[in-house]
Amino acid sequence: MKRWTTILREYRHHPNEFARELFAPLPSRYDFLSALLSLGQDRRWRSAMVNRVVGSRPSLILDVACGPCGVTRKLAKRTRAHVIGLDQSEEMLRQGRANVARVGMVDRISLVLGRGEQLPFADGTFDALTFTYLLRYVEDPAATLRELARVVKPGGVLASLEFAVPERPIWRIAWWFYTRAILPVAGYITGAKPWWDVGRFLGPSISRHYSTYSVPWTVEAWGRAGIDHVECRSMSLGGGLVMSGYRTG
């Protein structure tokens, strides 16, 4: 087993590679255990993010960091758009293809291997874009936001979901205890060592991210990336954060 200092060093210096290794064993039970270990809140958060997109009636949507296509399928179900899911993990995309085929959406969803920091699409390709739990796994969140905005048409919607740290002290203490003590053990019981690793990593990584990139900083970064009317919705006592905005012309 790697020492915790080694894990944090790998995460800090090579976040892409670290994420690929961390999530490689997880795809088959990812959606189920994400819902279970978040006490059902993950599904609410994803639905809230998708709600920010459907009203714009997009024809073509890009879902970045799509994983096994939980959000991708929601977007296809709730809009008439063709949805492209992009992820850097071949294992996640393999599971995503199986999930898409199982619900009969192969004609509505396409999957692409790629990174959010370097999208293989032309400027202004998409009517809308979503990304989920992405910014903690990139070296430069501001540059990544600029790249995400680049491929969206002027006036198109961008929406995101990220974990967050509760602001109120009482909920922050409860969140800290859950993420440091309960989550790793629950992950191990329900998903064995791979989910123990995720549970052990998750809380410290969220705290570390927001100590460097606060929510106000992130809102400003969205604006500098060319995204206007940025809105934030704190959910589940501050444990989840849904953001959205519109690509400027």
Query: pTM to 2 decimals?
Result: 0.92
CA distances from residue 18 to 122, 197, 228 in whole angstroms, order as listed = 28, 12, 32
What is the DSSP track for 127-194? EEEEEES-GGGSS-HHHHHHHHHHTEEEEEEEEEEEE---SSHHHHHHHHHIIIIIHHHHHHHHHHHH
- Domains present along the chain, CATH in parentheses: 15-163+214-247 (3.40.50.150)
Instruction: Give the residue among 82, 67, 63 at the shortest CA–CA distance from 20.
Output: 67
3-state secondary structure of 59: coil
pLDDT at 107 over 90: yes
pLDDT tens readout for residues 32-72: 778 877 888 999 999 999 999 999 999 999 999 999 999 99
Which pLDDT value is given to residue 61? 98
> Number of C-alpha atoms within 13 angstroms, CB side, residue 155?
4
